[in-house]
Amino acid sequence: MLFFEHGVHHLWFTAPEIPLHETGLTLIGIHVGHLWITELLHLFVPTFVAFNLQMMLHLGFNVLSVLFWLDGWESIKEKEWQKWVIAIVIGAQLHVFRDIHWYTIEKSALFPLFLFWGVLLRLYKSDGGTQNTLHWAWLPLCYGFAGLYNFYWAILLPFVSLAYTDVQLFNTKSKRLKGLMGCMVIGLLIGWAQLTLQSTEQYFANGSEFQQRASLDIFDVSTLDWNRMGFWKPLNPILVGMGLWVVIKKFREFKADIKTDKNDPRSQQISHFPISEWTLMLSMGAITTLLSMGPNITATIANPIYIGFQWLPGMWRFAKPEIFLLIPYAICARIVLEKEWNKWLWIALSIVYLVGLYLSTAFPYTTQFISGTLRY
């Protein structure tokens, strides 16, 4: 809020005589698009009210975008109320409220992530023969919007795209290929702009300091602690257990199908969720889970995936590895819808979700205004 009042989102072009480092842009980064939403709301209400309204809009858009993403799978079209439960648990999870409470407003906006994922999924289905009139240009538009709203999404979304890189992608008529190529162009432009802000003249912290920061907000596999919020409050254990059970069951069925005689009619059945898609999604989920552990898997074992990630241009500054866990958590929630569950299990899942929210110190209290000053 203080950076918004300072003018971080516009001073770099409305007052070009001000040194760039005094605008705050070198600290905030290129992703100030979300503050223009705040600016629009600020036309009608005080600043802190504008941020509260934006927070509520984010929660609503998060839930709706997860629904949009889930509706991309034909196999779960009929599970309307179950999809609403998943959409609320994922879109309005404790991690979102934690970012509202202690961090910056753009981190509470998951909807650009799921909007992109939903569009990409539809293009993937279109390449597979499913009728879909969605134009490929929507994908780079969604990517550009996500990257300027929150630069972390510009980093996460290429990992999401890995789950949709099969042989059909290289078909010359593939909408998905055109869309992803457009994303690459936009990503390079956004990355170039961000790297410009990270020039040696604009450093405010070195690589080791960012490494130290990145060791705090992680998924700690030894204690199952996500971002210092514990386990069962931010990561619904019933949802995780249901997802793991479906994965185990699906692989058992797959192994049994391999042993089935080719003349057996069962071997000709085509799953609604093809094994190639399962393999790609679960592999991508495994990679992002490792990335979410940060620089070290344990106190004595360095994280090789994270070390490799740090070799990417500008990624030495990446200090929030825990956000990578959003991807496998979402995949787990999606997989749950592949199976029919007793309604009491859904009720128990919802109760754990609500209790976890309200018992956590990360749950925000937005009715009290706290004044402050920006020192620079």
Cα separations in angstroms, 375 against 9, 12, 209: 17, 18, 21
State the residue for tokens 């089935």.
260
* Of 342, 332, 142, 125, the residue nearest 226 (C-alpha): 332
pLDDT of res. 74 = 82
Residue 263 has pLDDT above 60, yes or no: no
**Better-scored residue on pLDDT, 210 or 149:** 149
pLDDT at 255: 65
> What is the Cα 80 distance to its own chain's centre?
23
Q: Is the pLDDT of residue 334 over 90?
A: yes
Identify the three-state secondary structure at position 225.
strand
Domain locations in the chain?
2-359
Quote the pLDDT of residue 19. Answer: 87
Q: Tens of pLDDT along 285-298?
A: 999 999 999 999 88
User: What pLDDT is recorded for position 270?
Assistant: 45
Residues 326/227, Cβ–Cβ less than 8 Å: no
pLDDT at 259: 58
Element (H, E) at 219: strand 219-220
Going from the C-alpha of 294 to that of each of 29, 226, 310, 362, the distances in angstroms are 21, 11, 10, 21
Average pLDDT in the chain:
87
Inter-residue contact 116 to 103 (CB < 8 Å): no
- Torsion, Cα of 138, 141, 145, 147 (10° steps): 110
Distances (CA, A) of 91 to 44, 68, 103, 108, 205: 27, 12, 17, 9, 33
